Amino acid sequence: MKVIVLNSPGDVDRMAAEAILGQIVSKPDSVIGLSTGRTTLEVHRCLVNRCRVSAPVLSEVTFFGIDEVVNVPRDYSGACYTMLKTQVIDPLDIDDRNFLMLPTVSDDFSRDCDRFMEEIIRRGGMDFILLGLGENAHLGFNQPGSSFESGCRVSDMSPELEERIRRETGTPDDVRLGGVTIGIADILAARKLVLAAKGRSKAEAVKAMVEGPATEGVPASALQLHPDTTIILDKEAASLLKPESCQ
């Protein structure tokens, strides 16, 4: 695990975007996983801006989302599909055939998870995943307690997120809201991982991820087990780390 600490959130965004661009340039048919959220929104903007300047060949790149909200309309503004489509896929004119997403609604999520992972494998497997970090150290919808052996599945979301989505979508209480996500084992199967974290609110999770034991109570600590992981932090997110933990 390589830990890089930068001066500002903007520096984190730019370095993470450059890592994605570098992956595309080095392997034009890359299969790249993206995450949604406050952290990665700015990374996506930087990526789009850099691609417009450098004009890499994107016709063979496959992008996929690592997770999705279940039982909401796909065009809901908080659905991962809509966020990635708006932030990356449409601005970069990516063909929809090269944009893979788990469904928001399904009569058989287990079947759809299997098909999703099979299609990623058919395209050569996961070359690169950009990850964000939850304040409880979750990755995707892999909440604390998720097995490091877990695969793609439906999982829970935090009560706070569930309450907000239920309110915004008018989803009744008898309809389950959760997340469908690639598992920890799937994440660790990717060839390269980059995680970006910004802000003091992430400092406790960062410390547990980097300096604590690799434990299922801290999902992001599984990244300690991966051979090619880069953690990109601003000073606030890295504020609780020991100096020897950082580059």
What is the 8-class DSSP label of residue 139? Answer: B
> The domain spanning residue 45 has which CATH number?
3.40.50.1360
Tens digits of residue pLDDT in 25-84: 999 999 999 999 889 999 999 999 999 999 999 999 999 999 999 999 999 999 999 999
For the segment 104-122, the average pLDDT, to the nearest whole number, is: 97
For the segment 123-147, the average pLDDT, to the nearest whole number, is: 96
Containing structural domain, residue 153: 2-245
Instruction: Give the C-alpha separation, 134 to 201, whole Å.
Output: 9
E strand or H helix at 127, and its extent?
Answer: none
For the segment 78-99, the average pLDDT, to the nearest whole number, is: 97
How far CA 221 is from CA of 86, 148, 205, 215, 239, in Å, comes to: 31, 10, 9, 6, 18
Tens digits of residue pLDDT in 163-186: 988 998 888 888 889 999 999 999
Tens digits of residue pLDDT in 211-236: 999 999 999 999 999 999 999 999 99
Report yes or no: 218 and 208 within 8 Å, Cβ to Cβ.
yes
Residue with tokens 């691609």: 51
The count of domains in the chain is 1
Q: For all residues of the chain together, what is the average pLDDT?
A: 96
Alpha helix ranges (H) inside 212-246: none
Give the DSSP letter string of 29-67: T-EEEE--SHHHHHHHHHHHHHHHHH----TT-EEEESE
